[in-house]
Amino acid sequence: MKPERIVSAKAIDDNTLMVKFANLEIKKYNISKLLDNRMFAMLSNPGFFRNFKIEPGGYALVWNEDIDISEYELWQNGVSCTDEEIEQYIESLHNSFGLKHDRARII
């Protein structure tokens, strides 16, 4: 199956990304296994980890010239989120910031 393109992504803790794909599926991806590779060691810094961009076209999450994670990796090895997990994440945002948002806009 061809991986979908990334349309949005958020770091939900110091090791986990929540990624929304073009088909509207949302997956969680934990970077812990990547940290054994020296190339990804900088991702262990929470400030650096949270500072990524989506590559134009949705082909990867990019931190700098040397560090990126492809949509294929995120799609293949990410874990599909349940509606309950998504709601818990949204609820945590509401509690943290006192926000009232539509679920579709947060992810």
What is the H or E stretch that residue 97 is in? helix 83-97
| Mean pLDDT of the chain, nearest integer | 88
**pTM confidence score:** 0.81
Q: How confident is the model at residue 97 (pLDDT cuts 50, 70, 90)?
A: low
Question: What average pLDDT does range 6-20 have in this prediction?
Answer: 95
Res 106 pLDDT > 60: no
Res 34 pLDDT > 90: yes
Q: How confident is the model at residue 96 (pLDDT cuts 50, 70, 90)?
A: low
pLDDT tens figures, 63-83 = 999 999 999 999 999 999 888
Distance separating alpha carbons of residues 27 and 11, to the nearest angstrom: 12
